[in-house]
Amino acid sequence: MSMQALVVLALLVVAASAAPWTSLYGMSSTVALEAISTTTGQPVEVSSSLPYEAQGQGLATLDEELGIYYIIGTNVSASNAVKLVGVSVATGNVVAETPLPFQSSELIGVGQYLAYDSIRGAVLAVGQDFTTNEYILVRVAPITHKMTRLAVIPDVHMLDVLGGCAVYDPSVDTFWIQLALNVTGDIQIKFYGFSAGDGQLSNIIDNPEFVEAMVYDPNASRLVGLGAEETKTGGLQRTLVYFDSATDQFTVAGTIPEYQNVMSDVLTIDVASRHLIFLAHKSNSSSFDDGAAELRAIAEAYNREYTPIQSHIVRKARAAAARAANELTGTTLPSMDLVQYSLHAMKVMAAPQACAHFPQCPWSIKFANPQSPSP
């Protein structure tokens, strides 16, 4: 798509009260863009499979104004060649491709992060630089392919976070990512906040509510996410968590019963309906006894006295061991529902099945919210 065509798209957004592509979108396991029905949970293909062999879970972002869905695409057969790929949700055409100086780990996309900077109209990306072996933050102008190296990520001790959270908060112009630290044998996952303008590391904070996915809520000018808490029976329960970037305060607003297992960092928001949308497996028990047994087995496998919630953290931080953990516990691949949680009613409003086995589900989802016309 030419620059002129993109300008036309932008003018359409300004002229209309709602973008013509308003919908829920996702990137399938075959790396094809899909429009997803929130009623049935089922997809309609927007694009054919893109010429990329792999993508990372949750590794996507959306330019809602122009309707461009971005992923990090990887071609393993081409020495793990990594590119930032933009796909038009209106046409399914690839409209932007920019090579990234990243190298992939054994698990594709792990250790990489992506978010859209709506203030500058650019994409923020983090990955391991193959020339220096450092983790770096870059800003990419997808149309011009201009890349600006903003920062070297400090304190990374070779512990990539499986499904690590990444989110941009325009209210404070901050890009938040999750990094895992090995502090004398104690694995901790913290949030690192970087200025999207100059890449300055502005804050490092703990994650007391065990948040593993967040999205910006423009109606409340804050981040909202999925956390976890340990139950009296030793299992996990999902929580709804608000985060104020200005004060670094987490607030638990409620619980989300029956959905212990979620696809990490696969979360979006329908601003009009005030629905959080995510992929999760519905447990047979509201107390999550089934999950407690699995987490205890993982703790034993690591030969450490971890609590269930600590085991969950270790499983995420030691991404390379994730497959082994599943093998040790005999874990089956569960189905996933497209859960829609109302921020008004504070309950699940709908949850149609999205896939029978989670690898068949979209690897990322984003809601293209309508943009307000300029005054």
In the chain, where the domains are located: 3-368
Cα-atom radius of gyration of the chain, to the nearest Å?
A: 20
Decide the pairing of beta strands 201-205 and 213-217: unpaired
Cβ within 8 Å of residue 313, ≥6 positions away: 187, 188, 189, 210
* Amino acid of residue 279: L
Global model pTM greater than 0.85: no
Low-confidence ranges of the chain (pLDDT < 50): 1-19, 285-292, 295, 298-299, 302-304, 317-330, 373-375
Closest Cα partner for 160 from 315, 311, 324, 318? 318
Rounded distance between C-alpha atoms, residue 114 and residue 358, angstroms: 22
- The fold of 3-368 is Neuraminidase (2.120.10)
Rounded distance between C-alpha atoms, residue 7 and residue 257, angstroms: 45
Work out whether the CA dihedral 276, 281, 284, 289 comes out positive or negative.
negative
Work out whether the CA dihedral 200, 114, 86, 100 comes out positive or negative.
positive
Rounded distance between C-alpha atoms, residue 169 and residue 193, angstroms: 10
The reported pLDDT for the residue numbered 157 is 54
Quick one: DSSP state of residue 318? Answer: -
* Amino acid of residue 202: S
Q: Is 99 left (phi over 0), alpha (psi -120 to 50) or beta?
A: beta
For helices 308-317 and 322-329, angle between their N-to-C axes, nearest 10 degrees = 130
Give the Å distances, CA to CA, from 252 to 24, 232, 243, 311, 368.
26, 18, 9, 21, 27
Rounded distance between C-alpha atoms, residue 249 and residue 209, angstroms: 10
